[in-house]
Amino acid sequence: MRFLSVDSPLADDAPHLQALREQLERCDVAHARVASIDKLSNVLSADAAQVILIPEPALAHYLSFRDSHSQSQVFQTNPPHVVILLSQVSELDQSQLPPEAIDVWYLPMFDVALKMRLQSVAEHQQLMKAAQEQKKALGLQQERIRQEQKIVHNIFTNAYSRSLVSDPHIQTLLRPLSSYNGDLFLAAKGGTGSLYLFLGDFTGHGLPAAIGTIPASQTFFAMAERGRPVSQIAREVNRQLHQLLPEDMFCCGLIVELSARGDRLNWWSGGMPPAVVINPKGDTSDYLQPQHLPLGILPDAEFESGITSTRVPMNSQLLMYTDGVIELGISQQDALGVDGFLEQCKALQWKMPGICEFIEKELTEREPHDDLSLVMLRCSDTGFEEPNQDDERSRLPFEMKVRIGPNEARTLDPVSTIIRGVCQVEGLSKFRPSLYTALSEAYNNALEHGLLNMSSAPKQSSEGFESYYMERSRRLARLQRGKIDIELSYKPDDAVIAVKVRDSGKGFRFDHQDQPMAQEHTFGRGLHLIRELTRDLRWSENGRCIEFNFPLDKLPYE
Amino acid sequence: MNLFTEYANDGKHFIIHVKGTFDFSVVHDFRQAYEGLSEKIGTVIVDFRETEYIDSSALGMLLNMRKSLGAGSRSIHLVNCRPDVRKVLDISRFDKLFVIE
């Protein structure tokens, strides 16, 4: 620490200043004399701690000096401290003192008094230094936290980015208490055209509560997109959260699947306040009462995955909400409650903009204490198209011949293998299920009647049906001879796959094939399927050979 | 196992899921699934959401189930059919015997 002792413009001050300098000398304190305030700029250094001793008559000059040097490196990075020196009794207006002033000394001073003042200046200096270092460390720490928050925010955003937030069936009001939401709302399109929703509420709020939402959301999306049943989604999310969350944390959750036609809700609820079904007339027609413990509490073996299936009139609405909504005002001992909330919603004719406005108003009037989520689902046709695989059909014709002997028939699944191969060709995969059905019927007919000599008659009774298939596997196991030839010919110009299935059996009489099928008879249904799914069906070689063209110009169900 | 079952609506609904190929390979499991079903179950649902392929043997199994459960006394719903599966059910006019959703 270095003292800079500035001369006074008043000659009367000189002896006092001279005496002070000598005292400093005696006390072994580093100091330098500065002839005037203006000369300070030559001696002030940004590198060292400095205390300027300024006689009161020079104070005004110093104030203008510091104003003009406020942007200098010294004043920006290591501003000096100031001690005002008074040598005559005069009024010192505190408002005149610069913020860096730390003391006022009356001259002359006894040595002992000066020593004490020097000590206190040194202590002050040290405190300031420590405070500055802490401030710097705190700044770095804050910057790190900001960076981490940014990353975490990104992860949350990405984790939910698959959610169908803008689906016209859904309106939401999602109000987290802090920047992380312990409530979770997700929507996904299911494989069979249904719409999946997940409204969850993790214990607590803020980041600890939000962390569990990430694995839960990934599981939900993966399973919903594959069209998995609600019960299995609930089970899997529970298993994961049970494994992951600490004992005292869990997730209240409502998982809902709206059917493609919009007339059925399959749902599982654990610990969520009852969602409400509102029929098109505006009356509450059903409550989705929670039937299970929240997710993440029970081990898999004890978990109850039982869902409820609820039919809803077309254009009903489903109102789902977390307990943040009904507990609004709980800290004022005046919670809104389920009844209070639903009454308000009904008065607002279940219209979401009005309900949102009401909740926002409640939020400003009463202090929220939890995350809050509100979701309104319109139950109508989801309008999700099947994934469109309208890629161009390959223009390269090909043929495929497969010969199936007893061994292949016993150990392989020839139809699946053939279909898998054929449908790798560009533009054919969308025909896979129907082509499978047609070829499977022809192949099984050839195998069962041609090679295994089975009669379809027993299939007409329930008991016979199963024993027919037992007999089939018995005969197949013993089969020694015979073969089935399958020929597929892809003809892009005719937009067909020509199919020929020939067996080496005795052939059969097929004079009844054109009779209308009896409704409840299982016999002949396979042939009927082939006829409806294909064109140009013909038999030859006394019933040993069946041929048909599988059309590729449009899908069978179009 | 390509078949799994579950109860819903407090045990009043019974749901059978068939995964992948619905054909004679599940004939035994399918019958066992609904055999000895409790009287209090009023609705049986066959969920086709994970069914990729279906053939006439599956149609036979469905008809047997209907017969076994007392045709008409319980409602049997065939739900979440993909269009190809739906087409097969339509060809055989199953909409007259089952509730197809």
Rounded to a whole number of angstroms, the distance from the CA of A395 to the nearest CA of chain B is 25
Q: Which amino acid is at B35?
A: E
On average, the pLDDT of chain B sits at: 90
**C-alpha radius of gyration, chain B, whole number:** 12
> What is the spatial distance between Cα B54 and Cα B62, in angstroms, rounded to a whole number?
11
For residue A523, the model assigns a pLDDT of 44
- What residues of B are in contact with residue A522 (Cβ under 8 Å)? 56, 59-60, 63-64
* Measured distance CA(A400)–CA(A487) in Å, rounded: 6
Question: Mean pLDDT, to the nearest integer, of A451-472?
Answer: 84
Shortest distance between the Cα of B96 and any Cα of chain A, in A, equals: 10
- Taking residue A103's Cβ as centre, other Cβ atoms within 10 Å add up to 16
Cβ–Cβ gap B63/A522 under 8 Å: yes
Query: Which residue in chain A has the smallest CA separation from B59?
Result: A522
CA distance A54 to A64: 13
Q: Among A22-26, A83-87, A135-139, B68-72, which stretch is predicted with the lowest mean pLDDT?
A: B68-72
pLDDT (tens digit per residue) in A309-363: 999 999 999 999 999 898 888 777 778 889 999 999 999 999 999 999 999 998 8
Do A61 and A92 contact (CB within 8 A), yes or no?
no
Residue A462 C-alpha, separation from nearest chain B C-alpha, in angstroms: 5
- Measured between beta carbons, the chain A residues lying within 8 angstroms of B82 are 192, 386, 433
How far is the alpha carbon of A318 from chain B, nearest alpha carbon, in Å?
18
A297 close to A242: Cβ distance less than 8 angstroms: yes
Domain B3-100 has CATH 3.30.750.24: yes
Domain spans, chain A? 2-132, 162-379, 398-551
Whether residues A231 and B6 touch (CB distance < 8 A) is answered with yes
Query: Which of A259, A462, A533 has its CB closest to that of B67?
Result: A462
What's the CA gap between B98 and B77, in Å, rounded? 6
Instruction: Tell me the fold of A162-379.
Output: Phosphatase 2c; domain 1 (3.60.40)
d(CA A278, nearest CA chain B) in Å: 20
Q: Which of A231, A263, A525 sits opposite B59 (nearest CB)?
A: A525
Q: Nearest CB to B82: which of A263, A306, A433? A: A433
State the average pLDDT over residues B41-56. Answer: 92
String of b and e for A260-298 (b: at least 16 CB within 10 Å)? Answer: bebbbbbbbbbbbbbbbbbbeeeeeebebebbbbbbbbb
What is the maximum span of chain B, computed from C-alpha positions, in angstroms? 35
CATH 3.40.50.300 fits A2-132, yes or no: no
Q: pLDDT per residue over A171-206, tens digit each?
A: 999 988 888 888 999 999 987 889 999 999 998 778
Contact across the interface for B45 and A309, Cβ inside 8 Å: yes
What residue ranges do the domains of chain B occupy? 3-100
How far is residue B38's CA from residue A512's CA, in Å, rounded to a whole number? Answer: 41
Selected for mutation to probe chain A from B2, B14, B53, B99 (highest A CB count within 10 Å) is: B53
Contact assignment for B87 to A459 by CB distance below 8 Å? no
**Rounded distance, CA A102 to CA A415, Å?**
94
Q: Does domain A398-551 have CATH number 3.30.43.10?
A: no
Search chain A and give the residue with CA nearest B12.
A308
Task: Give dist(CA A462, CA A465) in Å, integer.
Answer: 5
Using 50, 70 and 90 to split pLDDT, how confident is the model at A296? very high
pLDDT value at A520 more than 50: no
Handedness of CA A222, A227, A230, A236 (dihedral sign): negative
Mark yes or no for CB contact B28/A228 under 8 Å: no
For the residues A75-94, what does the mean pLDDT come to? 83
| Per-residue pLDDT, B71 | 67
Average of per-residue pLDDT across A236-261 = 93
